[in-house]
Each structure stands twice: as C-alpha cells, then as structure tokens.
C-alpha cells in the first residue's frame, strides 16, 4: 500500500497570504490528523477528521481550518499567515477499528516558510 502523501512538500509564503495543504491518507484509512511541528513547541495537535467530520481540535486560532472529502483526503488551510506559522505540518492517517485507531502513520510533511 502507498503511504500517506502530502503536497506540496515545500512552500514559501509572505505574511498575510493564505495557504492550503493537502494530505492523502493510506487507502482504507478514514481518520486524518494534522500536527504542527516547530523546534520550540514540538508536535502540536491541530485537528482530526473522520468521515468528513472534525472530531477533535487543538488549541489553535480560527485561522487554521481543515476539511475532509468523501475519499478521506484532507486539506488544511491557514489564512492571514504570520511569521510564527513557519513550521513543518504533518498529516497522519489511522485505520479505525473497534477499539478506535491503533496507530497513526505519518506523511513526509509540508515545510512552510512565512516571510
């Protein structure tokens, strides 16, 4: 099976712009989670989508939003970019069974630089 894919891999934007990142989960995985990774803050949970519905949300401002499509692919959007949004954005997918998700499998990430 193909792994989790994320596009684009690298992105440079300027303050005030908006950006959309895409994630395609492993085939059959219906749960997709997004994380922001920065050197100072580590891995911060953004949100999780399952069956096109947001189930969990981390402590991020409303500028960060996401959605999931019927094929489980997910996008996250950041509006009005700030310098502090520069980070590695990781997407992870999970197979949901009776006991919930057993494991998250991560994509290679999208490195966003805001100038």
Partner 1 sequence: AQTVTQSQPEMSVQEAETVTLSCTYDTSESDYYLFWYKQPPSRQMILVIRQEAYKQQNATENRFSVNFQKAAKSFSLKISDSQLGDAAMYFCAYRRVSNTGNQFYFGTGTSLTVIP
Q: Which residues bind partner 1 (CB under 8 A)?
A: 31, 33, 35, 42-43, 45, 48, 50, 55-56, 88, 90, 92, 94, 96, 98-106, 108-109, 111
- Least distance in Å: CB of 80 to partner 1? 26
Q: How many residues does the chain have?
A: 115
Cβ closest to partner 1, residue 81 vs residue 90: 90
- Nearer to partner 1 (CB atom), residue 20 or residue 45: 45
User: Taking a C-beta distance cutoff of 8 angstroms, is the pair 4, 60 a contact?
Assistant: no
Least CB distance to partner 1 at residue 88 (A): 6
Closest CA to 50 of 101, 90, 88: 101
Nearer to partner 1, 11 or 101 (CB): 101
- In which element (H, E) is residue 76 found? strand 74-78
The Cα 57–Cα 36 span in angstroms is 13
Question: CB of 68: closest distance to partner 1 in angstroms?
Answer: 12
Q: How far apart are CA 91 and CA 33, in angstroms?
A: 6
């Amino acid at each position: 099976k193909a792994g989790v894919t994320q596009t684009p891999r690298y992105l440079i934007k300027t303050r005030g712009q908006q950006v959309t990142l895409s994630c395609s989960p492993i085939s059959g995985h219906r749960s997709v989670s997004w994380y922001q990774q920065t050197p100072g803050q580590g891995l911060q949970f953004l949100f999780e989508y399952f069956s096109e519905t947001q189930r969990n949300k981390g402590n991020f401002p409303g500028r960060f939003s996401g959605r999931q499509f019927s094929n489980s692919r997910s996008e996250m959007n950041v509006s009005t970019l700030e310098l502090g949004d520069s980070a590695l954005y990781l997407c992870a997918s999970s197979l949901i069974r009776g006991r919930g998700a057993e494991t998250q499998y991560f994509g290679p990430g999208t490195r966003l630089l805001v100038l």
